[in-house]
Amino acid sequence: MILLCDEDVGTGIPKALKLVGCETRYLRRLGLAGKPDPVWLAKAGQKGWLVFSENKKILKVPSERETVIREKVGIIFLTNGSEYNRKVLKLLLTKWDTLELLWLTLERPFVRFLSPNGRLADKYRDYQL
């Protein structure tokens, strides 16, 4: 599994995950920083990367939602934005095996919502695929 972190997540988390042996990518390193969401979402789907984002609005913007569905993207959304990097990193490391299992077993497209307490859900408030 390769985890693609979007711009909302930043570069620190994917760099730290990579240091401990997790495969990650981030938009700036790929030359996709500042590109419209449908552009990098399509690339994620085509490459088979799992997206990690805080931007749940992807599911509300028609062109972005359609890209997720068409390109069969798997996305993990952090339910609380603006968490400290240390907490998010710890959460991802704790849930890494579970995320890999989801990636291997769930039909794409899919979304899951990861709360700071480690709970994964297939809907959050009025967000769902």
pLDDT score at 93: 96
Please check whether residue 90 lies inside any domain of the structure.
yes
Please check whether residue 109 lies inside any domain of the structure.
yes
Please check whether residue 23 lies inside any domain of the structure.
yes
pLDDT score at 82: 60
Please check whether residue 129 lies inside any domain of the structure.
no
- Cis, peptide link before residue 62, omega less than 30° from 0: no
Q: How many domains does the chain have?
A: 1
pLDDT in tens, the chain (129 residues): 999 999 999 899 999 999 999 999 999 999 999 999 999 999 999 999 999 999 999 999 999 999 999 999 999 999 986 668 899 999 999 999 999 999 999 999 999 999 999 999 999 999 999
Please check whether residue 39 lies inside any domain of the structure.
yes
Please check whether residue 22 lies inside any domain of the structure.
yes
Q: Is the pTM of this model over 0.85?
A: yes
pLDDT score at 80: 83
Question: In terms of residue numbers, what domain contains 11?
Answer: 3-121
12: left (phi over 0), alpha (psi -120 to 50) or beta: alpha
DSSP the chain: --EEE-TTT-SHHHHHHHHTT--EEETTTTT-TTS-HHHHHHHHHHHTPEEEES-GGGGTSHHHHHHHHHTT-EEEEESSSS--HHHHHHHHHHHHHHHHHHHHHSPSSEEEEE-TTS-EES-BTTB--
Please check whether residue 126 lies inside any domain of the structure.
no
